[in-house]
Amino acid sequence: MPSGLFGIVHSNREDDKHWTKNCFNSSFPTALACYMMEHNMPAIYAKLAVVDNELKVVCEEISINELFNCGTLHPQDLDFHFESKFNPYQAYCIDAIDPIDLVVKDTSGNFLAPVEVKLTVLPTSATADRPEAEWASEIVVRTATTSYLALGVWDAVKDHRDRVRDIFEDVCGGIGSWTNDYEMAHKTASLRDALNVFEREFIDYQRPLVMQPIWKTRGQTPLLSDEAFDIVVWSNLAFSRLFIENEIKETMSRPMRATARMARCIWELSRSGRVRMEDIYRQMTFGQQNDKEANPAGKGWRKYISTDRVLHPIVPKTAIREILAPNYTEMLKPERRLDQTLYYDALFTAGNE
């Protein structure tokens, strides 16, 4: 473990960089995933299914090998590239694609999988005072994720180009201006209907995209639970439901914008096989900040993640001794937060009175 993190032998990050503030949030989840891979611990898999003739996100299980698309390879056979571009998707874009949190390759340089990493805590402050069965986490849907979502969906269905175009042509072909707030607000419902038809028909083509590691604490304290860690893997189609299923309003909201962007991207790819991402993910802003599309939390998150593993995460706290090499935690320099300082100060004072 030259990096000090389980399984990360080959990487584009220097060993000491893994432990810096902006890098640890993706390096640690990768090490956790490697630990689960080597111990045959499956992740939670949020995938889209048809239940009672309705599209619904269900929770099953998925191996980390499937998430990394690495077959029977082991962590030491993989090369982890952080904040990198998944080059195979560049073939579908006229302009440059964005980087994603993690690109998994084998040690021969073959691209295996793009993975967006969302490290989150359980419970949130809003659910910590509820019964433990109602504890929840949250997840932020960002533009970089939704662009990779659309490209990954197209990569899976591109051999059915004519049928995909048929699904979207009527509504997308009739749009005069994709940047007009009024027109798009009144077309979003039709775009959502087209996406529902598309996702139902191509549901078997969904792929894992988002890795959401969770760490569980004892209520709002910073103390880890004995059952401390788990990973939720979202398929691209399941993740799309976080914005597609939002309420349609009179003016363009962020989830409505994400819905329109996804439909336009898939439609344009079905027409020409290539798309200018700048036109879709930079110009279609509708007066909203451009880095966030949705932020399901609490009940919104639990609506999709219904598994009992929220109560009993699969990785125990003791696994930290294997995931992190001895003495490496001394390299961590977390942000000095007042609430954390006050909490520990109160404990220290109470113990000495």
Per-residue burial over 24-52, b if 16 or more Cβ lie within 10 Å, else e, is bebbbbbbbbbbbbeeebbbbbbbbeeee
291: domain range? 10-351
In a domain, 2, yes or no: no
327 pLDDT exceeds 70? yes
Q: Which residue has 């942000």 as its token pair?
A: 335
- The total of structural domains in the chain comes to 1
b/e sequence 289-321, b meaning 16+ C-beta within 10 Å: eeeebbebbbebbbebbebebbeebbbebebbe
Q: Assess whether pLDDT exceeds 90 at residue 337.
A: no
Q: Does 295 reside within a domain?
A: yes
Q: How confident is the model at residue 220 (pLDDT cuts 50, 70, 90)?
A: confident
- pTM confidence score: 0.94
Residue 110 counted as domain residue? yes
Alpha-carbon Rg for the chain, nearest whole angstrom, is 21
- The pLDDT of 145-166, averaged and rounded, is 97
Residue 337 covered by a domain? yes
Q: What is the per-residue pLDDT for 276? A: 95
Whole-number Å distance between alpha carbons of 165 and 77: 39
Helix (H) or strand (E) holding 316: strand 315-316
Cα–Cα distance for residue pair 9/3, rounded to 1 Å? 7
Locate all alpha helices (DSSP H) within 120-235, ordered by sequence: 143-157, 161-173, 181-201
Total Cβ atoms within 10 A of residue 173: 10
**C-alpha closest to that of 259 among 184, 327, 321:** 184
Question: Among candidates 86, 34, 71, 38, which has minimal Cα distance to 231?
Answer: 34
Of 339 and 111, the one with more pLDDT: 111
pLDDT value at 46 more than 90: yes
Per-residue model confidence as pLDDT tens digits over 166-196:
999 999 999 999 999 999 999 999 999 999 9
Q: Is residue 248 part of a domain?
A: yes
Asked if the model's pLDDT at residue 297 lies above 70, the reply is yes
Q: Which DSSP letter does residue 297 get?
A: B
Average pLDDT, the chain: 93
Nearest CA-CA partner of 114 in 76, 139, 146, 72: 146
Question: 342 lies in a domain?
Answer: yes
Judge whether residue 291 has pLDDT over 90: no
Largest Cα–Cα distance in the chain?
75
Q: Is residue 5 part of a domain?
A: no
Query: Lowest mean pLDDT: which of 13-17, 254-258, 325-329?
Result: 325-329
